[in-house]
């Protein structure tokens, strides 16, 4: 076995020969360009396997139209690892309107067309053409979130598990370091891939009478799930509640003469293990072969950023983090984070700015409560919404101390926090020290947070806190900005057409924005993606976590009206806004009054206001009170898959 390299892993036979290999142990096929940075799953898994003595070759974005490109390295000794890349290939290719995107953040030069739709399935079938029954292990976000029968927004139907369609041998879900270590060791010992059945964090296909190695929570039949929406919602509820490594059980899905078995989750990496993963010898950039095409755009978001944690107990229903990384938070040590920060400061193009010290949720460092450490996460309630659990532990002191130490490093001018700050968790902290430091030292002109909506009904469906928490946060934020003498902005992320939102809720949000004098440049139309509770609501009209019925806007007309209402100020949206208001019986909001959202279609002639009339609205000669400023521009993240990669909308 080889020692760890201090260069990129080989991406072609020439580079493999230069290393003196006769063949690799694993060929890792990915739908993304090869970027050797710890923000990319392929890089982490390949470096972890390398650290264990395995030879890993990277087959990046192979031509999928034939099996020949999959023979680049010859037959690997142990098998193929396959991933669609950092995000689901369908999300990478299509907008929420199902229109083909024109830019790919994970391909060289942003060029589209480097990977196929449903990349995991296509790659696996090409490997089978090339090498027959060679072991194939699939993983990454696409495989993880499609491991069970799942509603597919693009086909508008319930598809089979991706393990069935791909013809792979094993599916790994969640964070895969220890899962792949175990599988690699077993394969290396000569255990046939069909006999690997007891590894946590995996799914496999078996005969109905084969023994299952863990207690079983429930069994379901695909033929029922694809037609019975109630059973489908119930099945997701069971899957969601068994996503914890401490109390999770196995789940079985029947597919004609085979059964899919999901073993319980692999425990999350503890601090020492995370530190070891992030200490591996990453090159921290894309392979030099992409330089001629302008590099890989996705690196720009993370080049000078640090991930300090994993998992998220926020558990928003529209976010797949709970189903992938899980709700149990783990974090790296201060020493590990500082070591990475020092590495960044030595990079030749470092300008003195650490762009982010965050993760799925930037201000989480530990599990939500002591109970989680012994008994796992609660299966019947959330930690933060709609109100905080009485057992919630809120403490920003370690995070604040770590940021302060990074700021003191030579060459560091500023440390920003750009990944999702959970504003409700921040408000629950009785110590204002971190809030003050955040506003004073770590905001790059504007802070982005995600209230998402203002309607209690919609927020409950989202798994978010009610709007009074955001309002209190906003007031405190601007109060602190004034105290330190800084003019800074607040950018609220908003979502239209989420399950639970009727036109009336959209109107309610539009009126709120009008009163706040805030005109969002972009909003997110709800995008049903695999592995989320909100997607189940969208398909079934049932909240899988409560069993209650939910209203779902699904028609193009209503979805476009709800989106237009959130941007009522745009002239191009006027007709849709008027139509929605008339339909809802809210003609009182059509006109010229201060509360009106849109002008009538044909405005009557009005004489110019006299100076006397022009003064209306002022009292005693005083100027109207100013509303605290919000950002005049939002970042264009509305439907940007790059911003979805780590669940940053908190």
User: HSE (CB half, 13 Å, CA atoms) of 136?
Assistant: 30
Of the pLDDT bands very low, low, confident and very high (cuts 50, 70, 90), residue 379 is confident
Backbone angles phi, psi at 36, to 5 degrees: -95, 80
For residue 396, give every residue at least 6 positions away whose Cβ sits within 8 Å of its Cβ, in sequence order, or none: 363, 426, 429, 431, 433, 434
Of the pLDDT bands very low, low, confident and very high (cuts 50, 70, 90), residue 123 is very high
Query: Residue 602: pLDDT above 80?
Result: no
252 forms beta bridges with 219, 261
Q: Do the domain assignments include residue 162?
A: yes
Task: Read off the pLDDT of each residue in 108-117 and give the average, rounded to a whole number.
Answer: 97
Task: Read off the pLDDT of each residue in 437-461 and give the average, rounded to a whole number.
Answer: 95
Task: Read off the pLDDT of each residue in 612-627 and give the average, rounded to a whole number.
Answer: 37
Q: Are 240 and 257 in contact (CB under 8 A)?
A: no
Smallest CA-to-CA distance from 324 within 171, 144, 201 is with 144
Query: Residue 41: pLDDT above 80?
Result: yes
Domain CATH number, residue 418? 3.30.750.210
Query: 411, 427, 444: which is the final residue of a domain?
Result: 444
pLDDT at 522: 83
Percentages (nearest 5) of helix, strand, coil residues in the chain? 35, 15, 50
- Here the tokens at position 614 are 């022009």
pLDDT at 47: 98
pLDDT at 622: 38
pLDDT mean across residues, the chain: 92
Of the pLDDT bands very low, low, confident and very high (cuts 50, 70, 90), residue 603 is low
Query: Residue 641: pLDDT above 70?
Result: no
Query: 136, 165, 199: which is the final residue of a domain?
Result: 199
Query: 386, 420, 444: which is the final residue of a domain?
Result: 444
pLDDT at 109: 97
Q: Do the domain assignments include residue 87?
A: yes
User: Domain check: are 434 and 513 in the same one?
Assistant: no
pLDDT at 138: 98
pLDDT at 420: 85
Q: Do the domain assignments include residue 331?
A: yes
The span from the CA of 91 to the CA of 114, in Å, is: 14
Q: Do the domain assignments include residue 467?
A: no
The span from the CA of 99 to the CA of 556, in Å, is: 14
Lowest mean pLDDT among 13-22, 371-380, 565-574: 371-380
Q: Do the domain assignments include residue 233?
A: no
Q: What is the largest CA-CA distance in the chain?
A: 92
Of the pLDDT bands very low, low, confident and very high (cuts 50, 70, 90), residue 125 is very high
Lowest mean pLDDT among 1-10, 303-312, 403-412, 557-566: 1-10
Domain CATH number, residue 63? 3.40.50.280
User: Domain check: are 438 and 505 in the same one?
Assistant: no
Of the pLDDT bands very low, low, confident and very high (cuts 50, 70, 90), residue 81 is very high
Q: Assign 252 to helix, strand or coil.
A: strand
User: What does the pLDDT look like over 247-291, one tens digit per residue?
Assistant: 999 999 999 999 999 999 999 999 999 999 999 999 999 999 999
User: Domain check: are 49 and 174 in the same one?
Assistant: yes
Task: Read off the pLDDT of each residue in 7-18 and give the average, rounded to a whole number.
Answer: 97
- Here the tokens at position 255 are 């597919």
Query: Residue 324: pLDDT above 50?
Result: yes
pLDDT at 30: 98
Task: Read off the pLDDT of each residue in 238-249 and give the average, rounded to a whole number.
Answer: 95
Number of structural domains found in the chain: 3
Of the pLDDT bands very low, low, confident and very high (cuts 50, 70, 90), residue 604 is low
**How distant, in Å, are the alpha carbons of 139, 616, 623, 624 from that of 620?**
68, 11, 9, 11
The domain containing residue 331 runs over which residues?
304-444
Give the angle subtended at the CA of 491 by the CAs of 485 and 496, to the nearest 5°. Answer: 160
Smallest CA-to-CA distance from 351 within 443, 416, 439, 287 is with 416
User: Domain check: are 515 and 431 in the same one?
Assistant: no
Query: Residue 611: pLDDT above 90?
Result: no
- Pairing status of strand 414-415 against strand 353-354: parallel
First-residue to last-residue Cα distance in the chain: 44
* Helices of type H across 314-417: 321-324, 334-345, 370-375, 397-407
User: Domain check: are 418 and 551 in the same one?
Assistant: no
Q: Are 132 and 169 in contact (CB under 8 A)?
A: no
For residue 619, give every residue at least 6 positions away whose Cβ sits within 8 Å of its Cβ, in sequence order, or none: none
The size of the chain, in residues, is: 650
Q: Do the domain assignments include residue 486?
A: no
Q: Do the domain assignments include residue 118?
A: yes
Whole-number percent of the chain with pLDDT over 90? 88
Could you tell me which residue, 100 or 607, shows the higher pLDDT? Answer: 100
User: Domain check: are 326 and 184 in the same one?
Assistant: no
Residue found by looking up tokens 């189903």 in the block: 323
User: Domain check: are 525 and 418 in the same one?
Assistant: no
User: Domain check: are 438 and 524 in the same one?
Assistant: no
User: Domain check: are 425 and 507 in the same one?
Assistant: no
User: What does the pLDDT look like over 366-378, one tens digit per residue?
Assistant: 999 999 988 999 9
Residue found by looking up tokens 């998220």 in the block: 312
Q: Do the domain assignments include residue 1?
A: no
Q: Is the link from the previous residue into 386 a cis peptide, with omega within 30 of 0?
A: yes
Q: Are 418 and 358 in contact (CB under 8 A)?
A: yes
Task: Read off the pLDDT of each residue in 16-28 and give the average, rounded to a whole number.
Answer: 97
User: What does the pLDDT look like over 150-199, one tens digit per residue?
Assistant: 999 999 999 999 999 999 999 999 999 999 999 999 999 999 999 999 99
Query: Residue 551: pLDDT above 80?
Result: yes
User: Domain check: are 538 and 407 in the same one?
Assistant: no
User: Domain check: are 380 and 503 in the same one?
Assistant: no
Backbone angles phi, psi at 164, to 5 degrees: -70, -50
User: Domain check: are 419 and 514 in the same one?
Assistant: no
Query: Residue 640: pLDDT above 80?
Result: no
For residue 141, give every residue at least 6 positions away whose Cβ sits within 8 Å of its Cβ, in sequence order, or none: 41, 84, 85, 86, 87, 88, 320, 324
Query: Residue 583: pLDDT above 50?
Result: yes
pLDDT at 4: 59
Query: Residue 567: pLDDT above 90?
Result: yes
């Amino acid at each position: 076995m080889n020692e760890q390299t201090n260069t990129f892993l080989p991406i072609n036979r020439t580079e493999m020969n230069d290393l003196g290999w006769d063949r690799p142990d694993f060929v890792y096929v990915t739908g993304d360009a090869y970027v050797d940075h710890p923000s990319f799953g392929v890089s982490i898994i390949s470096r972890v396997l390398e650290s264990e003595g395995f030879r890993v070759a990277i087959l990046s974005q192979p031509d999928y139209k034939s099996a020949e490109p999959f023979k680049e390295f010859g037959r690997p000794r142990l098998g193929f690892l396959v991933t669609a890349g950092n995000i689901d290939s369908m999300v990478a290719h299509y907008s929420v309107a199902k229109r083909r995107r024109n830019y790919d953040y994970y391909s060289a030069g942003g060029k589209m067309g480097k990977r196929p739709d449903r990349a995991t399935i296509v790659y696996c079938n090409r490997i089978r053409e090339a090498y027959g029954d060679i072991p194939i292990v699939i993983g990454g976000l696409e495989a993880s979130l499609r491991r069970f029968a799942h509603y597919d927004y693009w086909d508008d139907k319930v598809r089979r598990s991706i393990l069935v369609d791909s013809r792979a041998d094993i599916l790994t879900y969640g964070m895969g370091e220890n899962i792949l270590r175990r599988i690699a060791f077993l394969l290396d010992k000569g255990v046939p891939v069909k006999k690997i059945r007891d590894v946590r964090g995996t799914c496999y296909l078996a005969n109905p009478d084969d023994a299952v190695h863990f207690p079983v929570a429930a069994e379901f039949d695909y033929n029922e799930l694809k037609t019975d929406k109630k059973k489908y919602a119930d099945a997701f509820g069971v899957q969601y509640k068994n996503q914890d490594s401490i109390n999770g059980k196995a789940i079985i899905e029947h597919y004609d003469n085979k059964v899919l078995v999901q073993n319980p989750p692999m425990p999350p990496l503890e601090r020492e293990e995370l530190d070891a993963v992030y200490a591996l010898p990453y090159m921290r950039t894309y392979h030099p072969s992409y330089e001629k095409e302008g590099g890989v755009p996705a690196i720009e978001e993370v080049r000078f950023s640090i991930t300090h944690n994993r998992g998220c107990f926020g558990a928003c229903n529209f976010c797949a983090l709970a189903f992938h990384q899980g709700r149990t938070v783990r974090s790296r040590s201060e020493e590990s984070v500082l070591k990475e920060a020092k590495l960044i400061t030595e990079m030749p193009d470092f300008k003195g700015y650490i762009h982010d010290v965050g993760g799925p949720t930037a201000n989480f460092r530990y599990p939500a409560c002591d109970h989680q450490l012994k008994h796992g996460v609660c299966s019947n309630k959330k930690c933060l919404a709609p109100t905080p659990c009485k057992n919630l532990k809120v403490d920003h002191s370690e995070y604040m101390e770590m940021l302060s130490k990074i700021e003191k490093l030579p060459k560091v001018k500023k440390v920003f926090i750009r990944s999702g700050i959970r504003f409700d968790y921040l408000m629950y902290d009785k110590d204002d020290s971190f809030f003050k430091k955040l506003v004073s030292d770590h905001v790059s002109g504007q802070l982005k947070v995600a209230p998402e909506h203002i309607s209690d009904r919609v927020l409950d469906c989202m798994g978010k806190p009610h709007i009074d928490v955001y309002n209190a946060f906003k007031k405190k934020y601007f109060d602190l900005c004034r105290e330190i003498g800084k003019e800074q902005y607040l950018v609220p992320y908003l979502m239209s057409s989420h399950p639970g939102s009727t036109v009336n809720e959209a109107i309610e949000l539009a009126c709120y924005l009008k009163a706040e004098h805030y005109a969002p440049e972009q909003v997110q139309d709800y995008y049903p993606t695999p592995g989320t509770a909100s997607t189940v609501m969208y398909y079934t009209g049932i909240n899988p976590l409560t069993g209650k019925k939910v209203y779902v806007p699904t028609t193009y007309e209503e979805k476009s009206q709800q989106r237009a209402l959130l941007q009522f100020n745009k002239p191009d949206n006027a007709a849709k806004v008027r139509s929605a208001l008339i339909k809802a019986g809210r003609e009182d909001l059509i006109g010229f009054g201060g509360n009106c959202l849109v002008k009538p279609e044909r405005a009557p002639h009005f004489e110019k206001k006299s100076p006397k009339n022009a003064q209306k609205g002022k009292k005693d000669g005083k100027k109207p009170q100013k509303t605290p400023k919000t950002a005049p521009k939002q970042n264009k993240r509305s439907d940007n898959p790059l911003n979805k990669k780590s669940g940053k909308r908190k």
